[in-house]
Every structure is written in structure tokens, then in C-alpha cells.
Amino acid sequence: MPWLGINLDYKDLQYYGTIGIGTPQQKFKILIDIGSSDLWVPSKDCDITQAACLKHNKYDNTKSHTYVRDRTRFNISYHNEKWQEVKLYGQISIDNIMIGGLLVTSQMFGAVLKFPTQFWDQSQCDGVLGIGYSKSSLLGTRSVFENMIRQGVVSKPIISIYLNQIEVKNVGLCAAGCQAIVDLGFSKIGGPPREIAVLKREIGVVNNTVPCDDDYILNLAPIIFVIGGKTFRLSSEDYILKVTENNCVLGFQDKPTDIINGIEWILGDAFIRRYYTMLDMENNRLGFATAKN
């Protein structure tokens, strides 16, 4: 996937790539999200009274000669990292998408007209590119990756894994096994509140904000994940996120269990940054390897 090699990140909390929409191309910085399936960007008709609309690039269908009109309107809901519901409103558009030199034609996506300011005004990204299964689409559209497959461009990813165990200082969490997903749209690692509390206690962290002191960070215990019988180690330098020189936060966050799907843990950027993740939806496989940097 050539576009996945683009080296863009924001404070180690968001990872994104640049895509082009329309002909000629209109450029957008897109958050790459394994946990969703839709592509959306702000519309030129986005509510300009919202700070989030003013700060980001906007799609202008009148400037693209490959745009196809679609009258379908949408209302969809996302959850932010505080598990608060945020709603997006807009209209479906159809146009060509260029990703890392790869062309996807006649892709349906969301042109957002309104979304909560607090949801997007601080983001470096203009929109979201979900690379999950099309059946998870909130817009009811075929995903960009599925269209890539149908058009002979790339292979599909898979997003679901089974997490065998998590261990810190010889204390095991989810020892009987628990369900997890990999989510590039989530900056931390999420887990059940009770187990996150145990994890914090064992590594000696009380609050989510920690001192940005190298000696302090280096003395925190490593955390071991066991996936498919293989061991994956996160050092304190991996799971302490340095937002600024004086602002460091713990890369773990408690989250509600997804009762419907039984998903207890989310392996977000704090894990993926350490381990190169290869997704193969065609063969329903997920692979990890140690990242070079």
C-alpha cells in the first residue's frame, strides 16, 4: 500500500496520509482508521460558523469534472476517544479518489455539512478514511479498499484479532483470553476499566498525565501482550505519549466493553507504532513485525 508509507503524524496521537479527490485533484489530509469503513471530508457548503469548517480543506464538487451527483443525505454517529457520541450530517458524493498514485474511480463518500466543533477543530486531519469491512459502513457505501479490490488495485485488510494475554510485572490480565481489535483511529490502547486500573497500579501510575522526566519514564515496567502465542513487548517509552515537552500522558485508557461484539481491548497507535501491522482481509489474516523505528 504505497500511501501507508507517507510519514505524517501529529504529536504521535494521529496518523494520516494525503489523498486526492476529484479531477483535477483536491488534496486532503486523511486520518487512517482501521476501526471504521467510510470516507468523509468537509464539503464546501460546510457551516462556516463552525471553527472546524474554517480550519480544514473542503471538497468542492463544482471544480471536479468527474463528480457524479447523489441526492442521498446522511446522519451518522461516531464516538470520540472519551466515548462521547458525535454526529455528522451531510450528503453522499461520487468522485474519483487518488491514493499514493493509485486511482479508485466512482467512489461514494460523505461530504460533511455539519459536525460538532469540539470533534474536529483541533485535528490536523481534514477527514477520515475508514479501511474496515464494507458491512460496517455507516454511510451504506462500499469502502475505498473494497473498490480497490474490485478495480484490481490492492488487496483487502482484516481488522479483528484474538488477544491471548496481557502481562505487567508478572500480573496477568485477560488470562483466559479476550477479544481485541486493531484501530489506527485510536491513539492509545483501550481496555476494561477494572483491568486498566490494575495495569496502572502495577506500573506505578496514578493519573493519566505523568512527568516528562526521562529517568521516571525509563523506570516504569514493560507490558507484555501475547497474541496468537507470540509475545509483544511495550516498553515505557512506547506507552508514554509525549504530547509536548512538558505534557506526557499514559497511552492506556479505560473503555466500555462492546457487548454486542464482545470486544474488550483496542490496540491503537500506541501499539501499532511499535509493531508494523500487515492486514490481509483476502485470507483473513493479521500479522505483526517489529517496526524499524
Cell 471553527 sits on residue = 51
- Concerning whether 47 is annotated as a catalytic residue, the answer is no
CA dist., res. 63 & res. 46, Å (int):
16
Catalytic residue, candidates 33, 38, 95, 269 = 33
Q: Considering only CA atoms, which of 196, 2, 30, 26 is closest in space to residue 124?
A: 30
Indicate which residue of 38, 95, 183, 269 is catalytic.
183
95 is catalytic: no
Catalytic residues: 33, 183
